[in-house]
Amino acid sequence: LAKTTQPISMDSYEGQEVNITCSHNNIATNDYITWYQQFPSQGPRFIIQGYKTKVTNEVASLFIPADRKSSTLSLPRVSLSDTAVYYCLVGLYNNNDMRFGAGTRLTVKP
């Protein structure tokens, strides 16, 4: 079971780049790394998924070093609406490894 460790909370200001790092030391060879965003009283929303190196989409980038024991979600130029909890999830979905950690509560200030 790939356990993940993230900071409990982070603060940032509008317009800044935010990087949230997730540690997953016992990641398995076939595990993917997926990040979700959750607003209060809403279901988590898929942000980005990667296996190795770097992945970029219209909302974020995901950096994964060669050893894959950690990953960093990068949010460019955050706004107040990016205030949310961000979860890192590691594992395959067709086994029992789809357990979310505590997540990182990001607060963006004006």
Q: Look up tokens 């009283």; give the residue.
A: 41
**Chain centroid to CA 82:** 13
User: Which span (9-17, 66-74, 76-84, 96-104) binds other proteins, by CB under 8 A?
Assistant: 96-104
Judged by CB under 8 A, does residue 101 bind other proteins? Answer: yes
**Which of 9, 53, 56, 95 touches other proteins by CB under 8 A?**
95
Q: What angle do CA 9, 24, 78 make, to 5 degrees?
A: 35
CA pair distance 87, 100, nearest whole angstrom? 7
For residue 94, give both structure tokens: 């067709």
**Which of 36, 70, 84, 86 touches other proteins by CB under 8 A?**
36
Judged by CB under 8 A, does residue 92 bind other proteins? Answer: yes
Chain residues that interact with other proteins, rule: CB under 8 A = 32, 34, 36, 41-46, 49, 87, 92-96, 98-103
